[in-house]
Amino acid sequence: MRASTKAIYFSALPNSISVIDLFETSVPEEIIDTRVTLEEHESACDAAYRKGFQEANEVLTKQIVDQRAEIAYLQENLFKSIADQANTLAHQVSEMLPDLVMEIARRVLAGIDPDSETIKKIVSETLVEIAPGSTEVEVQLHPDDLARVGAIDLEFDQKYPGIKFVADPELNSGDCRAKSKFGMIDARVLTKLQNLGRSLK
């Protein structure tokens, strides 16, 4: 019983040995050591931080540059739009101003009741275009104005011998026309305003 057992044992031994040899002759798997030192870890973290900071800084710088360019573009367009609107407004005002000035002046003058001194000045300004010493001069005034200037017509008679003052109900107070052999001088308020309006345009 024991001999038989020994035979089996020894007969199986070479097979066991060959199996063991088969495993022992295979290339063992290489184990990679992934451990790092504290210095290497800190250096890698610092490098990653610097790289991330640099990339973020570049992105932020580009955004700032783009925003500045956009703001400059919008600012330029805004100033151009304001300038265009200002020019348009100035043109509109310049177009409206003459008529506005004339209307204001007409309304102001319409409420003025000139005294004798004012009428005298109006007549003097009208006659300035007629050379002193001229004869056959006729001054046309509103009836109320003529009543006020009657007391001073002698002064004009010295410059214009034979000057005549006549009433014209079609004239407004403050109007004056002077007629001589050289033609008619229109010094009505409306005429003055029209001349002013033309000079403003």
Q: How far is CA 12 from the centre of its chain?
A: 108
- Same-domain pairing of 132 and 194: yes
> 19 lies in a domain?
no
- Same-domain pairing of 104 and 121: no
SS3 185: strand
Q: What mean pLDDT, rounded, does the chain reach?
A: 77
Distance CA 21, CA 29 (A): 17
- Same-domain pairing of 49 and 96: yes
Indicate whether this model's pTM tops 0.95. no
User: Residue range 55-80: average pLDDT?
Assistant: 89
> 120 lies in a domain?
yes
**Residue 64: its pLDDT value, please?**
92
**Residue 40: its pLDDT value, please?**
81
- Same-domain pairing of 96 and 151: no
- Same-domain pairing of 150 and 163: yes
Give the pLDDT confidence of 173-188 residue by residue, as tens digits.
888 999 988 888 888 8
DSSP string, 41-62: HHHHHHHHHHHHHHHHHHHHHH
Q: Is the pLDDT score of 58 beyond 60?
A: yes
Return the bridge partners of 186, or none. Answer: 177
Distance CA 98, CA 92 (A): 11
For residue 3, give Cα distances in angstroms to 10, 16, 148. Answer: 11, 20, 174
**Residue 3: its pLDDT value, please?**
47
Return the bridge partners of 33, or none. Answer: none
Query: In the listed set 111, 128, 152, which residue is the last one of a domain according to the structure?
Result: 111
Residue 183: enclosing H or E segment and its boundaries? Answer: strand 183-186
CA dihedral sign, ordered 44, 47, 52, 55: negative
Residue 177: enclosing H or E segment and its boundaries? Answer: strand 176-180
- Same-domain pairing of 144 and 168: yes
Q: Is the pLDDT score of 17 beyond 70?
A: no
Return the bridge partners of 183, or none. Answer: 180
Query: In the listed set 66, 93, 111, which residue is the last one of a domain according to the structure?
Result: 111
- Same-domain pairing of 168 and 119: yes
**Residue 133: its pLDDT value, please?**
80
Domain span at residue 76? Answer: 39-111
- Same-domain pairing of 95 and 129: no
Give the pLDDT confidence of 78-114 residue by residue, as tens digits.
889 998 888 888 888 777 777 777 677 666 665 567 8
Query: In the listed set 67, 90, 111, which residue is the last one of a domain according to the structure?
Result: 111
Contact 177, 190 (CB under 8 A): no
